[in-house]
Structure 1
Amino acid sequence: MTDNRRKFLKTLSIGAAGALATPTQIWGQATTPLRSALTDLQSDDISETYWKTIQSQFHFAEGLTYFNNGSLGACPKPIRQATINFQNTLDDFPSKYMWGGWKDEIEEVRQKTADLFSVSEEEIALIHNTTEGMNLIASSMDLQPGDEIISADHEHTSALNPWKYWQQSKGVKIVTPTLPILPKSVEEVVDVYRKAITSKTRVISICHLVNTNGMILPIKEVTELAHEKGILVAVDGAQGTGMFNIDLKDIGCDFYTVSAHKWLFSPKGVGVFYARQDSQKHLKPLIVARGYEDTSIRRLENYNTRNLPEVLGLGAALDYRNAIGAQKIHDRTYELKHYFRDKIKDNEKLVLKTPELDSLSAGIQVVEVLGKNVQEVKNRLFDEYGIDSRPMSKFGLNAVRLSFAIFITKNQIDTLINALETISE
């Protein structure tokens, strides 16, 4: 028995998986493909050749051109491989890595995430997705009958329903102002919220970028307006984070929640929750397990067991993003937006349903093909050209939603435009 045990331990120590290696060594082994890829990304080059290199690191089904990142993002090949390696490490020695073996590495992911938003790591919880974050906020609020929540008409269902479920039965009222489809200024949007506020308003629930027509909402200006009256601001940041630069310290909102699988290109199933330090007193965990007495923001991510390789995969995705450069990604987003809009601006059959100003839109653009049903347009784009898009029919849009992620090239936009022009005939 003793000899068998010794043989087993020896096998563990020298096995191919290196199960008894230190977490730091495991991290190095798992991220080898990523570090190799980062070498190709760290460049001042902003040419189309550079972005084709980025494109080559994303793998899609044969014949597919993916303009639907706003629905669900893709994960670059190096991040996929790193996450698989983390999963193999966990399965090689489950108890070691599920409970404590990766503690320091998880904290590094928290710090990288905090740096992304220019906030403290003590304001970041690593959750599963935006929907969980919105439920966390809505379930925590100690609202009274007659209190009001402002949630405009373009809010995502998964951001609105938590307020309905957790608060409406208590007699709390949800106020739903109407947003303009094509505002000409930031102030026009701010004024919608200004007029909706009453003495009973307690929370403004607002998305950073609406999923319907790609409009950016002025979170900083609405937050300033709200805080003057003691109103909390909860932001659904699913569509904005990773698309353009976001400084949450400057924005000033109380809560901000993100699905990292969209524009951060992380593995599916991991999200980010931000709570301003002095607003954390309002929050209660959705799930209670051992360690619930923790007073730090980590109490909000205390699941006992979870898919930690996805969390480490988020860290790898942030390394990938940082190698490219946040400002370069921000600039590329707007470069593709302008390229697309300039190309179709003189075509009377292609009507943009997204605000023009850069302060009001970015990497999601919505276009109607006049005289054509949006479902027909979506189907023809896919069936005839292999282009995946999202049909948007609410609010009279009748338009396809197009996402310009960093793996999209100008040649692909040219192909898209040619397809839209053919369909419009």
Structure 2
Amino acid sequence: MEKNRRKFLKNLGAGVAGTVTLPLHSWANSSESLRTSINHLKQFPDKKTEAYWETVAAQFKFAKGVHYFNNASLGACPLPIREATNAFRNTLDDFPSKYMWGGWDAEKETTRKKVAALFSVSEEEIALIHNTTEGMNLIARSLELHIDDEVILADHEHTSAVAPWTVWQAEKGIKLIRPILPILPKTKEAIVSVFRNAITSKTKVISLCHIVNTNGMMLPMKEICDMAHENGVLVAVDGAQGAGMVQTNLREIDCDFYTVSAHKWLFAPKGIGIFYAKQEKQSLLKPLIVARGYEDKSIRRLENYNTRNLPELLALGAAMDYRNAIGGDVIHNRTYELKHYFLEKIKESKDIILKTPSNDYLSAGIQVLEIKGKNVQEVKDTLFNTFGIDSRPMSKFGLNAVRLSFAIFITKKDVDMLVDALHSIATG
């Protein structure tokens, strides 16, 4: 019997060892796909050529006939990141307990470091959460505010940024101040002054978007942060529309908190987000969820969900590798190249009315426009039903305009096609 028991244990050990090799093989496959895609891009020493960007575009896949100008709503993963995510999922399911609880600890920290480098901050200031909404809830629920304290939220804030302050603070008697932003400001000061004039002795927080989702207006983060801190006011930033589209140095901006959905302009899987908290302000925060290990004093306590979406988290690291292969500065410059190319194409049209500030320091890869005399919903429907162009209709603030996103998979040929479609609708 002892001989049979030893034989059984030997065979069991061999079986377990076999299951361990499978995840390693899956990981290698995910890395190989990413390396292949990056090597294709390396064939172009000059990243300014349209051929280079057409190669980037080919690494994204959309449904047949769809021209995707709606990245500000929800981004797409390039094919190598899709494959990496699936490989990580297979790895996890090949040996669930190993990889959910400890097997990927080093890889998680590597991803954190890559994200920290993106924002020019320490990895000890980065938590890997689910999305921007979670980050805004984390801030709004954590801060110890008192009756009659004030939080400034301008009128263009996203609902997911306003709702947390409404539920966690306004219902306790904290006042939400809603100043009105200009739709087409000409200068940074025109925006900064709105926030400056809203501050009182009771103001504790300014909560604002980096880039508003309504008309693509980019707010002057550093100037607002400097002004707020001079008045002893914290700054919390909804960075969903900023990070990845434009270079974002959080050390230079000097906000206190910044939160991002990585599925937009970072082209990572859905359900993974980034939360930045300045080191000296982390003591103000409390986790939304507590589990074993809640005593951890580091920023990791804010992401302690026990079981969680680790394949998507690690694929965020792969998305950082993909982005770095192109280059943050290169992506930033391409964003403005497409913006300028588009604006040049429509500048002579009397029927296409731009509803986004044109200055480069006030807008970037989101452009919003109205077609004179046309209802925005009809324009949106015609763009899609006739031309396959997906966009977002914006009706608030009297915009009556479609929102267009110029992500890295958009080529100049795509822009030409878009402009032809807009002219066709305008004259039809």
TM over 0.5: yes
CA distance in 2, matches of 1:412, 1:178: 35
CA distance in 2, matches of 1:8, 1:410: 58
Counterpart residue number, 1:28? 28
Question: What's the TM-score once normalised by structure 2's chain length?
Answer: 0.96
1:310 deviates by 0.3
Contact 1:13 1:20 in 2 (8 A): no
Task: State the identity as a percent.
Answer: 64
**TM alignment of 1:150-299, pairs within 5 A:** 150-299=152-301
**Alignment deviations for residues 278-327 of structure 1 (CA, whole Å, 9 cap, x no partner):** 11111000001011110000000000000100000000000000000111
AA at the equivalent of 1:28: A
Question: 1:10 and 2:19 equivalent?
Answer: no
CA distance in 2, matches of 1:172, 1:139: 12
SS at match of 2:207: strand
1:18 deviates by 1.8
Question: 1:91 and 2:96 equivalent?
Answer: no
Contact 1:209 1:237 in 2 (8 A): yes
CA distance in 2, matches of 1:133, 1:27: 30
Contact 2:369 2:401 in 1 (8 A): yes
Contact 1:150 1:196 in 2 (8 A): yes
Question: What's the TM-score once normalised by structure 1's chain length?
Answer: 0.97
Counterpart residue number, 1:344? 346
1:44 deviates by 3.3
Contact 2:47 2:330 in 1 (8 A): no
Counterpart residue number, 2:327? 325
1:169 deviates by 1.4
1:9 deviates by 3.1
AA at the equivalent of 1:241: A
AA at the equivalent of 1:10: A
**Alignment deviations for residues 321-369 of structure 1 (CA, whole Å, 9 cap, x no partner):** 0000111000000000000011101101000000010000000000100
Counterpart residue number, 2:396? 394
Question: 1:416 and 2:418 equivalent?
Answer: yes
Higher mean C-alpha displacement, 1-10 vs 147-156: 1-10
Contact 2:23 2:92 in 1 (8 A): no
Counterpart residue number, 2:385? 383
**Alignment deviations for residues 71-130 of structure 1 (CA, whole Å, 9 cap, x no partner):** 000000000001100000000000000000000000000000000000000000000000
CA distance in 2, matches of 1:44, 1:174: 50
Pick the aligned partner of 1:404 from 400, 403, 406. Answer: 406
AA at the equivalent of 1:18: T
CA distance in 2, matches of 1:201, 1:49: 51
SS at match of 2:21: coil
Counterpart residue number, 1:334? 336
Counterpart residue number, 2:51? 49
1:223 deviates by 0.5
Question: 1:139 and 2:141 equivalent?
Answer: yes
Contact 1:259 1:271 in 2 (8 A): yes
CA distance in 2, matches of 1:140, 1:34: 39
CA distance in 2, matches of 1:160, 1:290: 31
SS at match of 1:274: strand
Counterpart residue number, 1:110? 112
SS at match of 2:87: helix
1:36 deviates by 1.2
SS at match of 1:230: coil
Question: 1:301 and 2:303 equivalent?
Answer: yes
1:193 deviates by 0.5
SS at match of 2:170: helix
**Alignment deviations for residues 187-210 of structure 1 (CA, whole Å, 9 cap, x no partner):** 100010010001100000000000
Contact 1:12 1:18 in 2 (8 A): no
AA at the equivalent of 2:105: K
Aligned Cα RMSD in Å?
1.2
CA distance in 2, matches of 1:213, 1:28: 43
Counterpart residue number, 1:362? 364
1:4 deviates by 4.2
Contact 1:145 1:171 in 2 (8 A): yes
CA distance in 2, matches of 1:2, 1:269: 46
SS at match of 2:353: strand
**Alignment deviations for residues 195-237 of structure 1 (CA, whole Å, 9 cap, x no partner):** 0001100000000000000000111111001101110000000
1:268 deviates by 0.5
AA at the equivalent of 2:33: P
1:40 deviates by 1.8
Contact 1:12 1:19 in 2 (8 A): no
CA distance in 2, matches of 1:188, 1:216: 12
Counterpart residue number, 1:39? 39
CA distance in 2, matches of 1:236, 1:20: 36
CA distance in 1, matches of 2:385, 2:32: 38
CA distance in 2, matches of 1:333, 1:2: 64
Could you tell me which runs of 5 or more consecutive residues in structure 2 were left unpaired when the two chains were aligned.
Answer: none
